[in-house]
A and B are shown apart, each in its own frame.
Chain A
Amino acid sequence: MEVSSHWRVKQQRYALIGEVCPSCEAKIFPPRDVCPECGDEAKTHYQFSGLGEVYSYTTLYDAPQGHEAQIPYTLALVRLEEGPLVTAQLTDLDDENIEVGMPVEMVTRKLRSDGERGMLVYGYKFRPRLQAA
């Protein structure tokens, strides 16, 4: 069931909570406790804005177990405004043409389901950024 492994990262999955390095101020996602830039300890929580742009993307027609129902789906590497890259699905695409550099924003969606009696795993996906109201 892997309940604890999903529960453990709920702050990341639901709210894009990463870390900021107290020494060099690098923003870190996913959290890793040791700053990849300067090597110092970095355990200070940091809330990412959820805004970014598409670094690269692909659409899959062959899915691994647990994702068959989503085929075809589009995955992306998103460059967050604060610096880090994050791997996630793109969603709410409608007829939108995806492009490298396209602005996107984080939303919460169902990531996978482990069968009828299995868990539903929720977390971040990214959609084309809506026009500011």
Chain B
Amino acid sequence: MTNSNFPPQDIYIIGVGMTPAGEHWEKSLRELALDAMIPARQEAGGIAPEALYVANMLAPVLSRQSHLGALLADFAGMRGIEAVTLEAAGASGGMALRHAVMAIASGLVRSALVVGVEKFSERVSSEIEAALSTAGDADFESVHGVTQTALAAMLMRRYQVEFSAPSDAFAGFSVTAHANGAGNPLAMFQRAIKAESYQRAGMVSDPLNMFDAAPMADGAAALMVAAGDAIPADSRYPKIRIAASSAAVDAVALHDRRDPLDFSAVRDSTAEALKQARLERDQIDLFEVHDRYTIYSALTLEAAGYAERGKAWQLAQNGQVSLNGSLPITTFGGSKARGDTGGANGVYQAAEATLQLQGRAGEIQIRNAKTAMIQALGGAGATAVTHILTGSETA
């Protein structure tokens, strides 16, 4: 848990870039990353990054490529700057953004480029499953054939039994994500689904079906982050203030947790972020949750205090987390419809929330959005990184 007077100075996102999420057979890891880095730098105008923070989860396994900091900095024409990879499984993107914030807050760096990139399509599914399961406990989970999907499925079954939730309790999260993804031109799936499609979906790992799990997608997203006094006056878009940054961890293995249905890292990092931003929960206009599985959206909303235990699925069923609801989530489709881009997820979330706060979200725009909370999770909620972004009017 972080515990600091935040922020020591104003830190802003001043440029974003995203590639479409999906299968990029024709692009290598470095080419994909470059496609996101170029527009982020262009939006930021003439400011040159002093550091590059790369978010990636599996390149050493899937692409036999580590040392992405130097590789991508060189490929993007930035030899001479400092560059490093941050890895915290699915929370890598949030963690890389947090490191940019910490570097700038320390005064050692005045501007940084954050890029999240993941390339799944190099491998077949059994190899991808094995790679993804390295985010679990190798000695006491993975050796038994545990996958990330199996962990989510066991949480889902326990939730249904413990809270007497109906079998289609989680459908609303999937329907919401797909409805929003239909308005995101970069999403892997751009078609809304009906609740009946959820009922008919094939089982992946019972009781978890195809519409409860996000598809893995290649993708890259980038952010230019800078200290307030380093930003040129003539920025093209409104600058977005990073009002809070916090990270917390729980046990990696579900079996090591006191109560597996309590995402304590979510609770800890959300509470800290709200404290830093001096905001109450109900002042958040949109919440980009980590929705790799529908059950994670429910457990997140409960641990973050937006619903009582065992009740968060009702928020989705009642439309309260839809675009026009009281707390829109996964506004660009989340992992479910945009595609789960592994270590890049947290950077996509930040770029998407930035577009919402700048009024550039097109048909999925949240009206008058001024504050956004974004949260990247690693594994089954073992790492949670939370940021709060605010539009410049409220800065």
Chain A interface residues (CB < 8 Å from chain B): 5-6, 9, 12, 30, 32, 36, 55-68, 70, 73, 75-77, 84-89, 100, 111-112, 121, 123
Contacts and interface: CB of A to CB of B under 8 A. Distances in A.
Contacts of B125: 62
A56 B253 CA distance: 14
Contact of A77 (B143, B161, B255): B255
Contacts of B204: 61-62
Contact of A65 (B130, B139, B254): B130
Contacts of A66: 130, 145
A56 B155 contact: yes
Residue with the greatest number of chain A CB neighbours at <10 A, chosen from B133, B143, B206: B143
A118 to B, nearest CB: 13
B392 to A, nearest CB: 45
B143 A111 contact: yes
Interface in B108-145: 125-127, 129-130, 132-133, 137-145
A75 B155 CA distance: 12
B157 interface: yes
**5 shortest A-B CB distances, which residue pairs?**
A58-B153, A64-B130, A67-B145, A85-B255, A64-B129
A88 B139 CA distance: 11
B205 interface: yes
Contacts of A100: 157-158, 161
A26 B204 CA distance: 37
Given A30-B140, A58-B208, A123-B143, A64 B126 contact: yes
Contacts of A76: 154
A121 B203 CA distance: 29
B147 A62 contact: yes
A58 B150 CA distance: 6
A51 to B, nearest CB: 16
Contact of B139 (A5, A56, A70, A84): A5
A87 B141 contact: yes
A25 B275 CA distance: 37
A58 B157 contact: yes
A67 B143 CA distance: 9
Interface in B345-371: none
A73 B157 contact: no
Contacts of A30: 139-140, 256
A87 B146 contact: yes
Contact of B154 (A58, A63, A89): A58
Contact of B129 (A12, A65, A87, A111): A65
B378 to A, nearest CB: 18
A128 B44 CA distance: 62
Residue with the greatest number of chain B CB neighbours at <10 A, chosen from A36, A70, A85, A123: A85
Interface of B: 125-127, 129-130, 132-133, 137-147, 149-150, 153-155, 157-158, 161, 203-208, 251, 253-257, 260
Contacts of B205: 58-62
Contacts of B260: 55-56, 77, 85
A48 to B, nearest CB: 13
A98 B251 CA distance: 27
Given A56-B158, A58-B153, A65 B143 contact: no
Contacts of A67: 145
Given A56-B155, A85-B254, A65 B145 contact: no
Residue with the greatest number of chain B CB neighbours at <10 A, chosen from A30, A76, A84, A87: A87
A75 B146 contact: yes
Contacts of B132: 64
A86 B149 contact: no
Contacts of A59: 205-206
B255 A70 contact: no
Given A87-B144, A87-B254, A87-B255, A58 B206 contact: yes
A9 B133 CA distance: 19
A8 B204 CA distance: 33
A68 B126 CA distance: 8
B63 to A, nearest CB: 16
B210 to A, nearest CB: 11
Given A56-B161, A84-B255, 9 more contacts: A9-B140, A30-B256, A56-B154, A56-B157, A57-B157, A58-B153, A60-B205, A62-B125, A87-B254
